[in-house]
Amino acid sequence: MDVLFNNCASNQTYRSKTIQNELIEVCGELTTEKIVNEIKDADVLADEATDCSNVEQMAIVLRFVDNFFKVREEFLGFIP
């Protein structure tokens, strides 16, 4: 990113709200992909809860033992 921002023309900052949202989305996808790749062989449990507007949502939180034998928890998101 530094190379892109330092080498672009002065009127091209690539920092509009649309670009920022795209960058955030890409970072989220890459983070989720990395977490999923780390836990592919783990056991998975699921549960759901109903919010105040009666919408059932399942929180995706992964608890697993990583390659260094540390227990980790990673939040991935909510699924309605």
> Is the confidence at residue 13, as pLDDT, over 80?
no
Give the amino acid at 37: N
Confidence (pLDDT) at 62: 79
Q: What is the pLDDT of residue 46?
A: 64
Rounded to two decimals, the pTM is: 0.51
Q: Which residues contact 61 (CB under 8 A, 6 or more apart)?
A: 73, 74, 75, 76
Q: Are 65 and 51 in contact (CB under 8 A)?
A: no
- Position of tokens 């949202």? 21
Identify the pLDDT of residue 45. 65
How many Å apart are CA 61 and CA 47, to the nearest integer? Answer: 10
> How does residue 78 score in pLDDT terms, banded at 50, 70 and 90?
confident
Predicted local distance difference test score (pLDDT) of residue 38: 76
Question: Which residue is listed with tokens 């670009």?
Answer: 19
Q: Spell out the domain ranges in the chain.
A: 1-38, 42-80
pLDDT digits (tens, 9 = 90+) for 47-65: 667 777 777 877 788 787 7
